[in-house]
Amino acid sequence: MAASGFYDPRLERIFPPNAAVRSDGALEIGGCALPELAAEYGTPLYVIDEQGLRDRMRAYRDGLAERWPNSQVAFASKSFPVLAAYAIAAAEGLAIDVAGAGELLLALESGAPPELIHLHGNAKSSEELALAVDAGIGTIVLDGEADVERLDALLTRPQDVLVRIIPGVDPRVPKAISTGGAGSKFGLPIPQARQLIERLAAHPYLNVVGLHLHIGSQVLEVEPFVRAVEAVRELGEFPVYNIGGGLGVDYHLRHRAPSLDAYLDAITAAARRVLPAGSRLVIEPGRSLVARSGVTAYRVNNVKRTGATFVAVDGGLADQLNVALMDMEFTPIVADRADAVPDTTAQLVGRQCESGDLLVDGATLAAPAAGDTIVLAATGAYGYTLSNNYNGALKPAVVFCRDGASRLAVRRQSYAEFLGHHVGPSEQAWAC
Ligand SMILES: *Cc1c(COP(=O)(O)O)cnc(C)c1O
């Protein structure tokens, strides 16, 4: 195996598969040097290892198909709602999961086949459902009676649907991302799901083809997935079982998420025990599909030594909200000197006005200085998703890199776009 050139070779498993360190010490992703990308596209910048992402999609698709031939992997697109990512997922043979009109429009615009699109959500509007029905999407996941009533008013032909159930499985993950426990706002408890399914048996258009569940995100053990598969047994036999996503990711050298093989082995072994032979098994990975392929690049604006050393960059909560929402522990590196052993322990902070705007607590960095490019590894999932305009920050650009070439996937928001949402003094006389 070629040496990656990182100061610590163990970092290879946290950074994208096609990350390497050039002889001058610059970190490269997909053959593009990060300090050069930062100069060309500006910072903060989300950078994607396109080949790494494609390879991961194939590993998921082929890995599941080898173990359970009648299977489907759907890209849970909320993890990275970028048009290019939808197009790549469709090109790699994945189905697409959306949870609202905006994501549905991105999926349709990407050219993904409508029959491979699934719509979820616990509060779908009639307009959203109409858009989905008109587009002819493959599957709508019913959260309960409200969806049935709205679809009743819309449908003039059969529509395949799944019923979302609460499996009563509470994985050990932060509360904000646990969705399968008894108190979940998503789906129906098993007895209510049973009643709904019985009632829909005679429905002229709503065709219940199976069940759906999703237990949560950043799950770092396989056992909760096994319990969730086992929970569906009570409801009888169906052609389709969608068991959601949720596999965790290593953000730090200390983390050890289950491998893709271990996860697929566990769920398919459980499926073999409890699901009818020949039924279709669907999974919906988001985080574990995209996180490792993406990094976020920042420019250092300020290095200050007070009680502690603070290395302040030009982004923060506005582009990496997960640090505050989920206490994420990301792995940083000075992209100009990725071969240099860190000599500085610092608080890596952002520029937004909150003390929670701490990107890495106790970051170890190699001689950080103003003007350096600092990269956070494994930030491909939910970073872009949660980007916002806190303190007037502009939503960052997204660039895909492969074989030494970079392609812009999302333009950086401009100040004109930022200001343009507001109704100002030229249109309304606010000052009188
Ligand atoms: C968020 C979500 C996923 C993806 O979860 P990950 O943890 O990103 O894999 C899959 N299915 C549903 C219904 C979701 O809400």
Q: CATH number of the domain that 363 lies in?
A: 2.40.37.10
**Hey, how many other C-beta atoms are within 10 angstroms of the C-beta on 371?**
11
Tell me the whole-structure pTM to 2 decimals: 0.96
Pick from 242, 284, 288 the residue to mutate for probing ligand 1's pocket: most ligand atoms within 8 Å of its CB: 284
> How much is the pLDDT for 319?
98
Q: Quick one: 297 and 285 in the same domain?
A: no
- Name the strand (E) or helix (H) holding 260: helix 260-274
Regarding whether 284 and 299 lie in a shared domain, the answer is no
- Indicate the average pLDDT of the chain: 95
56 and 35 within one domain: no
Position 3 scores a pLDDT of: 60
Nearest to 359 by CA among 399, 395, 396, 312: 312
* 428: in domain: no
Whether residue 196 contacts residue 143, with contact meaning beta carbons closer than 8 Å, is answered with: no
Cβ–ligand 1 contact at 380 (below 6 Å): no
Any ligand 1 atom below 6 A from CB of 248: no
pLDDT band (50, 70, 90) for residue 377: very high
- Diameter of the chain by CA atoms? 72
Same domain for 93 and 147, yes or no, is yes
Ranking 195-199, 219-223, 250-254, 324-328 by mean pLDDT, the lowest is: 324-328
Does pLDDT of 286 surpass 90? yes
Are the C-beta atoms of 103 and 166 separated by less than 8 Å?
no
Q: Do 336 and 271 sit in the same domain of this protein?
A: no
Neighbouring CB atoms inside 10 A of 180's CB total 27
Q: Which residues pair with 117 in a beta bridge?
A: 96
| Interatomic CA distance for residues 165 and 190, integer angstroms | 6
**Of residues 233 and 156, which shows the higher confidence score?**
156
For residue 165, what is the domain's CATH number?
A: 3.20.20.10
| 260 and 214 together in one domain | yes
Q: Are residues 264 and 355 in the same domain?
A: no
Ligand 1 centre distance from Cα of residue 166 (Å): 14
Residue 41, helix vs strand vs coil: helix
Residues 275 and 199 grouped into a single domain:
yes
52-56: long-range contacts, CB 8 A cutoff, minimum separation 24: 52/16, 52/17, 52/18, 52/292, 52/293, 53/85, 53/88, 53/289, 53/290, 53/293, 53/294, 53/380, 54/88, 54/92, 55/17, 56/17, 56/289, 56/290, 56/292, 56/293
The answer to whether residue 85 sits within a structural domain is yes
Confidence of residue 430 (pLDDT cuts 50, 70, 90): confident
Q: Which one of 274, 289, 304 terminates a domain?
A: 289
With respect to residue 427, please indicate whether it lies within any of the assigned structural domains: no
Tell me how far apart the alpha carbons of residues 261 and 64 are, in angstroms, rounded to a whole number: 9
Q: How many residues does the chain have?
A: 432
Half-sphere CA count of 180, side-chain side, radius 13 A: 26
pLDDT of 67 strictly over 80: yes
Q: Domain tally for the chain? A: 2
Whether the per-residue pLDDT at 333 is higher than 70: the answer is yes
pLDDT at 178: 73
Q: pLDDT tens-digit profile of 88-100?
A: 999 999 999 999 9
pLDDT at 360 over 80: yes
At residue 8, the pLDDT reads 97
195-224: average pLDDT: 96
- DSSP conformational letter for 123: S
Average pLDDT of 229-236? Answer: 90
CA 67/CA 179 separation, integer angstroms: 26
Q: Label residue 326 by pLDDT band (50, 70, 90).
A: confident
pLDDT band at 300 (very low <50, low <70, confident <90, very high): very high
At 320, is the pLDDT very low, low, confident or very high (cuts 50, 70, 90)? very high
Shared domain check, 66 and 190: yes
Task: State whether 59 and 156 are in the same domain.
Answer: yes
Same domain, 27 and 100: no
- Whether 2 is in a domain gets the answer no
Cis ω before 158 (30° cut-off from 0) = no
Does the CB atom of residue 81 touch ligand 1 within 6 A? Answer: no
Contacts of 311 (CB under 8 A, 6+ apart): 300, 302, 303, 344, 346, 347, 348, 349, 363, 365, 368, 374
The rounded percent of the chain whose pLDDT value lies above 70 is 99
Q: Long-range CB contacts (< 8 A, 24+ apart) of 178-185?
A: 178/215, 178/216, 179/214, 179/215, 179/216, 179/217, 180/213, 180/214, 180/215, 180/216, 180/224, 180/228, 180/244, 185/122
Of 289, 306, 339, the residue that ends a domain is: 289
pLDDT band at 64 (very low <50, low <70, confident <90, very high): very high
432 is annotated as an active-site residue: no
C-beta of 294 in contact with ligand 1 (< 6 A)? no
Q: Is the pLDDT of residue 177 over 80?
A: no
Asked whether residue 2 carries a pLDDT value surpassing 60, the answer given is: no
Mean pLDDT to the nearest integer, 123-137: 97
Neighbours of 310 (CB within 10 A): 15
Query: Is the same domain home to 20 and 71?
Result: no
Domain membership of residue 4 (yes or no) is no
Of the residues 289, 306, 323, the one at which a domain ends: 289
pLDDT at 1: 40
**What pLDDT sits at residue 182?**
75
For ligand 1, atom 10, name the residue with the nearest CA.
245
The answer, yes or no, to whether residue 149 has pLDDT greater than 50, is yes
Supply the pLDDT for residue 327: 86
Kindly tell me if the per-residue pLDDT of 175 is higher than 80: no
Give residue 76 CA to ligand 1 midpoint distance, Å: 6
The span from the CA of 57 to the CA of 288, in Å, is 10
DSSP state of 183: T
Which structural domain, as residue segments, surrounds residue 212? Answer: 51-289
Q: What is the pLDDT of residues 401-410, one digit of tens each?
A: 999 999 999 9
In a domain, 431, yes or no: no
For residue 74, report the distance from its CA to the centre of ligand 1, in Å. Answer: 10
